[in-house]
Amino acid sequence: AKKQGKNRFYWFEAPMENELRFRNKLESGIRAGIANGEFVPYYEQQIDLETDKLVGFEMLARWESPELGVVGPDIFIPIAEEIGVIGELSEKLIAQAFEDAKQWDHQLTLSVNISPVQMRDPWFAQKVLKLLVKHRFPPHRLDIEITETCLHENIGMVRSMITSLRNQGVHVSLDDFGTGYSSLSQLRSLPFDRLKIDRTFISELRADENNTALVDAIVAMSDGLKLPITAEGIENEAIHEVLKTMGRMKGQGYHYGRPEPAAKVLERLSAQELL
């Protein structure tokens, strides 16, 4: 639908009926895909920018649909939330990720993303604990990423959720920082372990220009709050170099590698003697 050719009106005037049919197909495809194990974890490297060493991976879900090919989470997560299967889907993915990560060097951490819908489940922390025990995964290797939009929810409930996760030894990060509306006082009152600066701020950085002001400010603030930082969306060497001068932090992005399936991660780790 990007190219505006002769055919564009066909696209816009596609009968509603077709859209509905496609949506229904997606919904039933997602339900069937969960049952058939078509949802799989991919992993993106996380680097310590001080040492340039690999320190862990973020799990990013993919739908390997026999019909549609590899589908990204921006398509299926919102639908899974709407049709009430996000909890089940997420638990399956996390269970698989625990099994994958158990094969890695035990220093390497595993980050997972959690939907705001799951944050509304009063049993969420319990469910995470159950999974950790069932798969014998060390809690301190797990980092749960909560997006800033979760802070619009009942803040008391969010706080007690974070607290019970941390009491189990799990780390909790604030994801997509800077894209929402969290206030400084909210940030100070919630016991996060880490801030992840959203990639929209990182992609603004250029070595040859001087527009580091925004990221500088976030770094200064995180120093003040004593919260370590991860910068996401590092796409090239220049940005990597700029960030290295801004203080101690972790980084991730296409510069280090695309998200890749478990088997590729094992190859990478075996080459680096990190198995």
Of 252, 274, 247, whose CA–CA distance to 50 is shortest?
247
* Region from 101-109, 212-220, 231-239, 263-271 binding ligand C2E, contact rule CB under 6 A: 231-239
Indicate whether 61 belongs to the interface with ligand C2E (CB under 6 A).
yes
**Of residues 241-260, those binding ligand C2E (CB under 6 A):** 253-254, 259
Of 214, 98, 138, whose CA–CA distance to 231 is shortest?
214
Indicate whether 143 belongs to the interface with Ca ion (CB under 5 A).
no
What is the Cα–Cα distance from 259 to 59, expressed in whole angstroms? 8
Indicate whether 84 belongs to the interface with ligand C2E (CB under 6 A).
no
**Of residues 200-259, those binding Ca ion (CB under 5 A):** none
Comparing CB distances to ligand C2E, the nearer of 8 and 82 is 82
Indicate whether 176 belongs to the interface with ligand C2E (CB under 6 A).
yes
* Region from 70-78, 109-117, 185-193, 249-257 binding Ca ion, contact rule CB under 5 A: 109-117
Q: Which of 115, 182, 212, 230 binds ligand C2E (CB under 6 A)?
A: 115
Query: To the nearest whole angstrom, how small is the minimum distance from the Cβ of residue 230 to ligand C2E?
Result: 10
